[in-house]
Amino acid sequence: MTLFLGFAAVNTGNNLLYLLVSALLGFMAVSGWLGQQNLRNLLIKLTLPQEIFAGQPTLIGVCVQNRRHRLPAFLIRVHLGADFPLFPQISARGTEEQSLMLNWSRRGQQQLKYIWIDSCFPINFFVRSLRIEVNQELLVFPQPQRTQAPTVAGYHAQRHQLARSVSGDSGDLRGIHDYRGGEPLKAIHWKLSARHNSLKVKQHEGLGAEPIVIDIAQLAGATEEKLRRATGLMLEQFRHQRPVGLKLNGRFISPQSGNGQRRRLLTELALYHGR
């Protein structure tokens, strides 16, 4: 419309059209400057969960901080994958948080290099965008797949030494750890949870559940299917508070229980390169 009125003003020499075109061009310049300032001095932080599995939607926290001292930010969208949460208004020196869903298709070491933010402020005519470097590394575990356990051999050697390392819901108190979603409600330490504003779970000594070892070579399917089966089987055994070990690439990891062992085995499967 502005270009059409500009050509009309040149061809007709009408001073009113010249004034109208000047006003429109000035409005476009001011709106462009406001839109550019609206994207400045914004800090984006991502909160990733401790465990990310391939093929499963993962909830990620997005925090946008407005570091300007006087001017608020309006209509900010954060693009990461196919999801883009909208922040209608972020006050000066304020912070807003939302969540988005991401889904990684493959396991292994991944990297979030950058994210995009955009805004249609002040009018929904031009959308201005800005790329922000993130360079955040994350580890994606194989997608869990339910499977039977005919190829999992019981590990009976030195069982009396393993009994004290088995987690359970009885016996002496072993420690306190963060709630992971699979623990029974009776194991939650309510007083400590209220003090820390997050759920804490009591971990007791178990009564000696029989440990098992997962042998990757004996699982059915191609390499990726074996890893998915091993992951699902491992998580199932940890939910039953049983010590789990692993055999892969000629290496043997002795059965243990606890979050440290769970993380170690999942990391081995995520970075596995079969032969």
- Residue 109 belongs to domain with CATH number: 2.60.40.10
Q: Are 10 and 79 within one domain?
A: no
- Alpha helices by DSSP H, the chain: 2-12, 15-38, 159-162, 190-196, 223-239, 259-270
Cα separation, 22 vs 6, whole angstroms:
9
State whether the Cα torsion 257-261-263-268 is positive or negative: negative
The answer on 263 and 198 residing in a single domain is yes
Domain boundary among 121, 141, 161: 141
Q: Note whether residue 275 is domain-resident.
A: no
pLDDT of residue 127: 87
In a domain, 147, yes or no: no
Identify the pLDDT of residue 166: 45
Q: Are residues 167 and 194 in the same domain?
A: yes
Of the candidates 200, 21, 224, 34, which has an alpha carbon nearest to the alpha carbon of residue 121? 34
- pLDDT score for 264: 94
Residues of the chain with pLDDT under 50: 150-167, 169-171, 207
Q: What is the number of structural domains in the chain?
A: 3
Domain of residue 253 covers 152-270
Q: What is the pLDDT of residue 180?
A: 64
C-alpha to C-alpha distance for 250 and 261, rounded to whole angstroms: 19
Note whether residue 257 is domain-resident.
yes
58 and 159 inside one domain? no
- Model pLDDT, residue 130: 92
| Gyration radius of the chain's alpha carbons | 28
Q: Is position 146 within any domain?
A: no
Distance CA 247, CA 33 (A): 61
Domain shared by 76 and 32, yes or no: no
pLDDT of amino acid 156:
43
Residue at 252 is within a domain: yes
- Looking at residue 26, its pLDDT comes to 74
Q: Helix (H, G, I), strand (E, B), or coil: what is residue 11?
A: helix
